Structure 1
């Protein structure tokens, strides 16, 4: 369903459940709300939560920003490496206000904010911006964005710069599978058929590569978040895969170090994806952490 959030039309999925504590799931770069596996959502519902997912602006079925153009990715990357300000059509703080707007539209006063990758960056900003709306924060496979942190492995960075061999669905799926193979959880590999099924479903739901590029620039422009993290006062859990080839584990450790009182948990064999086994591990950490935060809030 569509809601008006921060003045935009944002696509939302809400499991419902009046009176249940709410978990807001925020997905990463170029990924749609359906990238949160249905089984993972159900695990959280079974644990007693109402779960809300949404397509970030400029991706999926939410409002796009094609009128803003894409910008010169190569030049902006050079600017970033030189320490200059990256220019972007919008910021991660704008996307944070979108997420708060989703809570407003659904009449939700407070939620457990859970974000993956770029979604973790948005979740971090939400906890710092609106602590009164944040029951707890869970940052998954994400980063503080601090300069000097390691980037993707060389082969992953090279793959990110390659273009698909064609514009047809088969070529796009094959290209995406090659990338996913490089960043997958080595302890929990998925078959090409499983990956292709998920990719085809997402592409047929919505395919908007220009939005991905604008979101990438928004990440590059988000240069003050390392200092913002010190303002977070809500209970925080940082989860990161030990085998993450896209956002190395040092990035998650740095996030946790910058957030006062946070808890860091590494996940052996986890990369930068959400296979079923990893989803179960994450849910088994998130659910008790969120319940404990609620119990602490209710203690006189």
Structure 2
């Protein structure tokens, strides 16, 4: 007897799926989680997880590799407890921290994509002796706030330039790059003169600074720490316990929302006119698609393009309205 194989990939167009998501009346919660662990069969794990999460109507983007899992998803609120229970049934994911989004309308994803990749974060590391069990200790929000004023502590932002630009911890230093792959060797080099200081690493949800803490320890740094759960958990715990927030501005996120507002501070500027502004946009010229900061006046003047050249040469086949829909 022939058995029908389950559908393990999406077969509906993005336009239809996005329209369905926007039409949903049920409330969704945006969640992120990650964990480093050794996985011998990433494809088998991926296929099983796809079936389980599809049953719960989960949308999102998940990367799986031999080193673990990295997930950003949305789930119907009525299925949140079932999602947690489903994840915990996997020994590798038992009690995994679920970072719930801070500023969330649930419209972050419209399709479930689970991909097997060489790494759960592209880090460029080719060193089999790196031990991901040897990581920097976690710091809770209360401890973070104490260390912000410690003269012997150095806060290091392990995110990209466009993330740091709109929000960061007070006095944190930037490792100036656009990719995590570039950042790791730069961090080792730039921090060489600070080996006697307490180095506090942070990122959005914790995954990048966990890898970075292991890498710095591997490279001979002795006092490396990481903000537990990244900016998301720091702010959540800080708000819950009424703590002053030392992270100012916006937290950049990699979904339809782009950012979460943490504090009212606007610390960035329009890339075109220099006015105080922290709103990201993608250049509407699809041949460019540059992510940049643009104020409302420049958005009107340049028709959401990054320059007059891109505005003039934008493909005529698509109107601005059509491009926005895409």
State the TM-score, normalizing by the size of structure 1: 0.26
| Structure with the larger RCO, 1 or 2 (CA within 8 Å, 6+ apart) | 1
More strand by share: 2
More helix by share: 1
